[in-house]
Amino acid sequence: MSWEATALIVGAYLLGSIPTAYLVGRWRKGFDLRRYGTGTLGASNVAVHVGKWAAVLTGAFDGLVKGAAPVILARALGQGPWAQGLAGLAAVAGHNWSPYLRFSGGRGLGTGLGVLIALAPWQFAFLLVSVVVGRIVFHQTALWTFIGIALLPLTSLLLSEPTGTVLFAAGFLVFTALKRLTANRVKGVKGVKAEDLKAILLYRLLYDRPVAGYEEWIHRKPEGSQGEPDG
């Protein structure tokens, strides 16, 4: 791998690491968003605890600047599909495990969608439809998001996408699974037995939360908080 490609991948990771949601939470509400709701630093948690317009801006930055821009830059510099795919993966990794926040972060969905806009538009459309259908039709956004991401490697192969796209799709799935399995702590959540590890891991993987109810989970606030207005 050339030094240009290496520098591009490192730069994509550092760009992806910018904790947009965290900064928006601090700027708009003065709190650490990781202590609220799902605890993830993404547009969906911003929408619940900061505001919808703040979530739109967060999602746009995460997708277009952190996700799409590194792939577009790689292509403009003459880098091939492998470098483009790795740059996209680096951006998602930075979003999920930001060194600026002791390697905490979001789930990478917005950034991953941004990567797909530039890398594989048909795959972007497929995943977006999966997310929208899951939210509107089945009211299970997290589950259908995971299904969509899990199918990306297969659909990339079926559509004869470049190897770099297949690489990104596979890596995106691995990153999503790792983040879901390790991110949400179970302590203090109603309905969860600490010894029931298999059930906990299954709920984390499929629903991106412990066994607790969805509304209870996304609206959690730290003990002693004064109930900052959402929106």
- Flag whether pLDDT at 2 surpasses 50: yes
In tens, the pLDDT along 93-124 reads 999 999 999 999 999 999 999 999 999 999 99
In tens, the pLDDT along 116-174 reads 999 999 999 999 999 999 999 999 999 999 999 999 999 999 999 999 999 999 999 99
Instruction: Look up tokens 């965290």; give the residue.
Output: 22
Burial of 14 (0-12, 13-18, 19+ CB in 10 A): middle
Q: Residues of 134-169 as b/e, b for ≥16 C-beta within 10 angstroms?
A: beeeeebbbbbbbbbbbbbbebbeeeebbebbbbbb
Q: Are 34 and 86 in contact (CB under 8 A)?
A: no
Tell me how far apart the alpha carbons of residues 29 and 33 are, in angstroms, rounded to a whole number: 9
- Flag whether pLDDT at 224 surpasses 80: no
Tell me how far apart the alpha carbons of residues 35 and 224 are, in angstroms, rounded to a whole number: 12
Residue-wise DSSP of 190-210? TT--TT-HHHHHHHHHHHSS-
Q: Are 144 and 133 in contact (CB under 8 A)?
A: yes
Residues 6 or more apart from 221 whose CB is under 8 A from it?
A: 35, 36, 37, 227
Tell me how far apart the alpha carbons of residues 90 and 16 are, in angstroms, rounded to a whole number: 7
Q: Which residue has the higher pLDDT, 202 or 188?
A: 202
- The tokens describing 32, both together, are 């650490």
Long-range Cβ contacts of 40-44 (<8 Å, 24+ apart): 40/105, 40/106, 40/107, 40/183, 41/95, 41/98, 41/101, 41/104, 41/105, 41/106, 42/106, 42/107, 42/109, 42/110, 43/110, 44/141
Domain positions in the chain are 3-183
- The tokens describing 209, both together, are 């939360």
pTM for the structure as a whole: 0.90
Q: Are 17 and 98 in contact (CB under 8 A)?
A: yes
